[in-house]
Amino acid sequence: MSQSINNQKPVSCSAALLTPRGRGAVATIRVSGELNSVTVPINACFNAANQKPLEEQPLNRIVYGLWGQSSNEDLVICRLNLTTVDIHCHGGMAAVDRILSDLEVHGCLRNSWEQLAKITRTVLDVELEERLAAATTFRTAEILLRQSEGLLKSAFEALLPMEGQSFDPDHYHSQIQNLLCWEQFGLHLTTPWRVVLAGRPNVGKSSLINTILGYERSIVFNEAGTTRDVLTASTAVEGWPIQFSDTAGIREQADALETTGIQRAEQMMNSSDCNLILIDISQPEQADDQRLISLWPASIIVAHKSDLPQNWKQPLPHDAISVSSMTKSGIDILLDRLIKKLVPEVPDANTPVPVTSRQTRILHQAMEELNESNRSGYTSLIQELLS
């Protein structure tokens, strides 16, 4: 490798880690930019086993070699095209950081994979890739993968009026409505459904959330007011991401500090996707129980502590589910009811689903333009959607 090559400075080059940070067998770093700006840093750091510089390596061919002039690291590179090279190295972050630092020394700008994607891809492509990367379960990732493989883009392209054809607002209105019926579902593929556990003090909210999660996230103590803040924990139920919130016990008679926790609990209940209201059927019913049920009538009622002798004198609320956190009786029934409420319908494999707030916002704006039969404004919005 000539000294003159080592002394050259690239014109415009960026390097980004494509694989997730953390432990792994192999990590991939992508280097891209103008032809000379890519070859200079690679040639300065990479010594191919075949002794050829980067520009003489064939495209789409794995090339083995050593990285660095001292403390050499075994790795392979692959030229994807004249301006893009992938470096496949050891998956540990020490190796990754060393390679990225070496590239920076030779003029490469270190980017995130999101920043790199924004340089070469459309906004729609980037946000679909970002949503896929943010998926926390296989089930949601599968749906997001189908969207990113062209399903959603094709649906958006079908909304674009063709030149020379008559403009039919009703036709496009129907198509957008079909997309927007999955609006909340699509947003929840990467943002967990929020479920709040509420009830009087000591009805067993902390015990129940610990049982659902399978580990002790909440403190369990038989003194009113133990939970004075909202404790949250996320898990997956039937492949759907859910965030459970353990809230302060709600009652009319409370001290000032406890009242703050109760106010936070009620705020969470007002903005949640579903509430679980617990009643302790081992104790006589109280006015606070009825108050909660009447204020949030759409909640799922959990008749808790069903393993203990029942002292609830009145008939249980309609559709209440008897549950015991101690014996785990009724837990499966409760989670089944919860999922049916949160995800009443699942789209089939060929259904396009908008997955970001930007997409749904533009679709709603497009509906407004259709209501005015404004072809120009509508077309501009769909073009923005596809940008």
User: Domains in the chain, ordered, with CATH?
Assistant: 3-120 (3.30.1360.120), 123-182+348-386 (no CATH), 193-342 (3.40.50.300)
Task: Please tell me the predicted confidence (pLDDT) of residue 11.
Answer: 43
- Render pLDDT for 177-194 as a digit per residue (tens, 0 to 9): 999 999 999 999 999 999
Are 331 and 323 in contact by the 8 Å Cβ rule? The answer is yes
Averaged over successive runs of 10 residues, the pLDDT of the chain (387 residues) comes to 40 82 82 88 94 95 91 90 93 91 92 76 89 92 95 96 90 97 97 94 91 63 43 91 82 52 81 96 93 94 97 92 96 97 97 97 98 96 94
The closest of 381, 378, 351 to 167, measured between CA atoms, is 378
* Tens digit of each residue's pLDDT (9 = 90 or more) over 322-345: 999 999 999 999 999 999 999 999
Find all residues with CB under 8 Å of 128, minimum gap 6, and list them.
Answer: 144, 147, 148, 152, 355
Q: What pLDDT, on a 0 to 100 scale, did the predictor assign at position 152?
A: 97
What is the four-CA torsion angle of 96, 99, 102, 104, rounded to 10 degrees? Answer: -60
pLDDT at 289: 93
Query: In degrees rounded to 5, what are phi and psi of residue 176?
Result: -70, -40
Q: Give the per-residue pLDDT at 115.
A: 78
Nearest alpha-carbon partner for 304 in 214, 200, 387:
200
pLDDT of amino acid 188: 97
pLDDT at 70: 73
Query: Taking Cα atoms as reference points, which of 226, 324, 210 lies closest to residue 218?
Result: 210
